[in-house]
Amino acid sequence: LKIALTDLFLNIISALPSQERIVGGTITSINNYPFTVSLQFSWDNVRFGHKCGATILNNRSAVSAIHCWVNNPVANRFRIRSGSTTKSSGGWMHNVAQLIGHPHFNRANLDNDIGIVRVATLFQIHLPTVRAARVAGTHHHVPDNHDVVALGWGNIHTDGPGSEQLRRVVLRAVNHTQCRMAFDYIIPIGLSLHQIVSVTGGLTANMLCANWIDASRSICFGDSGTGLLHNNVLVGVASFIGWDGCGSIRWPSVFVRVSRYETWIRTNS
C-alpha cells in the first residue's frame, strides 16, 4: 500500500493536531541560529500562519521540504518570516517570488523531498539575526551516533499545542541500514503543518535518520523543512516520521541528506 498526498487525507488532517513542535527540546534564540526562518501560508493572502521551516542559503533563497507546498505550489500564498525567534511576530516578512521543487521528488516514498524558496524582498544577511547557513558539501560525512541538532517551531508532543518560539533538540545520527530496516513495512507521516504525507518504506541514500535512545526527543508535525545541523553545518532538511507519531522508539526522524544535493542547491539558489 502506497498512500501519497491526495484528497484522501482531508478527513485525517482534521483529526490530527494542527501545530506541533520539537519533542524534548528547549527554547533557543534566533541569534544562535540566524539562518532559520518560518515558511508561512495563507488561503486568502491576508492571514498568514506558520506551515514549515526553512534555512537561508543566500540573500534571495532558502531551502525547505517540497512536500510543504506540493499541493499548493502558488508562490503568492507563501511568505517567509526571517530574523525572529517567534513565528508570528518580529523580524521581517518576505514575499515569495518562486517555489522550486526537486524535479525527481517521489510522492510514494518522499525521496528528493527538497525545494528552494526564492524571496521577492532580499534577506538582510548582514544582520546578526539573519545569516546564510553553512551547507554540507558532497563529502561531508555524518558518522553514526554523532550528535546532530534539529530546529523548529513544531510541538512538544503529538497532541500538544504549537510552539511560538524557536526550539532546538540534540539527536543522534542513526545507522542508515538500521533505519531502512525500521521503515521497510510501515507508513511514515510527513511533517507539514497543514498536510499529511503518508508513504511506505523505501528509504534511500538521499535520506538521513536521527533519534534519541529513549525516544524522548524528536521532530514533529510543523517541523518540516527546518534544518538538521552537524557541527553547525546544515546536513539535513526535516522530512517525515513514523506512523505512530512523534518521539517513536521504533522509528527515527528522517531528513533529506543535504550533501547529496550540493550541485542542485547551488544551481537553483
Task: Indicate the average pLDDT of the chain.
Answer: 85
Taking only the tens place, the pLDDT of each residue in 21-50 is 467 789 999 999 999 999 999 999 899 999
Q: How far is the C-alpha of 211 from the C-alpha of 135, rounded, in Å?
A: 21
- Domain-located, residue 252: no
CATH number for position 41: 2.40.10.10
Q: Is residue 224 part of a domain?
A: no
According to the model, what pLDDT value does residue 112 have? 97
**Residues 210 and 150: beta-carbon distance below 8 Å:** yes
In a domain, 151, yes or no: no
Catalytic residues: 67, 113, 224
Residue 57 structural domain: 35-132
**Euclidean distance between CA atoms 50 and 78, whole angstroms:** 10
| Domains: count for the chain | 1
For 132, other C-beta atoms within 10 Å of its C-beta total 18
| C-alpha grid cell, residue 32 | 544562535
| Residue 198 is assigned to a structural domain of this protein | no
Residue 185 lies in a domain: no
234 in a domain, yes or no?
no
Q: What is the pLDDT of residue 191?
A: 57
- 3-state helix, strand and coil shares in percent for the chain, rounded to the nearest 5: 10, 35, 55
Band of pLDDT at residue 16, cut at 50, 70 and 90: very low
The verdict on residue 115 lying in a domain is yes
Task: Give the C-alpha separation, 173 to 90, whole Å.
Answer: 33
Q: Determine the residue type at 118.
A: R
State the distance between the two ends of the chain, measured CA to CA, in whole angstroms: 35
Query: Is residue 68 one of the residues assigned to a domain?
Result: yes
- pLDDT one-digit tens code per residue, 156-169: 667 766 789 999 99
